[in-house]
Homo-oligomer: A and B are copies of this chain.
Amino acid sequence: MTSNQRKENSSKTAEKILAVARKVFAEHGYNGTHMDEIATRANVNKATLYYQIGDKDTLYANVIHQVIGNVAQDIVRAVAEARTPEEKLKAYIACIAQAVDKNPEIPPIMMREIASGGVNLPRLVVEDFVSVIATLMGILEEGTKKGIFIETIPFLIHMMILGSILLYKGSLPIKDRQTWLPASIRNKDKKIKGNIANEVAKLILRAVKKSRV
């Protein structure tokens, strides 16, 4: 076994590369991203990048895993901790919103990934998605059986939740950039900035719950 400082420095550069790659892939997508840009923005020689991580596909796979790998487990855990279907559904939504809040690279990357039919998605990640949807199906079924929820199409509900959050968050840059956009549209939702989870949860629950109290 050799030095420690070397290893630390080395893993530091690797992390820096990963962090930068994450941003760049989110900005430009897989095809729009150039290894040179990543190297430059990470203050690293391109060969170092290849030495530390590998080719473009590997780098992208790493980013994907880092970005959306853990969300699934979070969701499953958070849902398990909640008691009623209603609480579970709230936890489900909060988890997704929180994940997106924590790393804003999720919307662009996921939307592009869906757009391209998930060609670049590692099997492991797809399996994560499956477990997430399965969780939601469980929640909805339980709710329906208990007479709390109406009958629904789980896959659609999931896309409604995910779509709301992804598109809402993902559109903020456009909205902010288009300075000539009518103020009525730009300002109307300032009040909920950063926390749409509650609003989405409210709407989804209203849509799904049978009786209103």
Chain A residues proximal to chain B, CB less than 8 Å: 27-32, 107-109, 111-112, 114-118, 126, 130, 133-134, 137, 150, 152-157, 159-160, 162-168, 170-171, 173-175, 177-178, 181-182, 184-185, 188-189, 192, 196, 199-200, 203-204, 206-208, 212
Contact = CB atoms under 8 A, between A and B. Distances in A.
Contacts of A130: 181-182, 185
B167 A137 contact: no
A30 to B, nearest CB: 8
Nearest to A191: B153
Most chain B CB atoms below 10 A, which of A184, A203, A204 = A203
Nearest to A136: B185
22 contacts: A28-B116, A29-B31, A29-B32, A29-B116, A107-B115, A109-B115, A114-B174, A115-B115, A117-B173, A117-B177, A118-B178, A126-B178, A134-B182, A137-B184, A137-B185, A153-B189, A154-B188, A155-B185, A160-B160, A163-B164, A163-B166, A206-B207
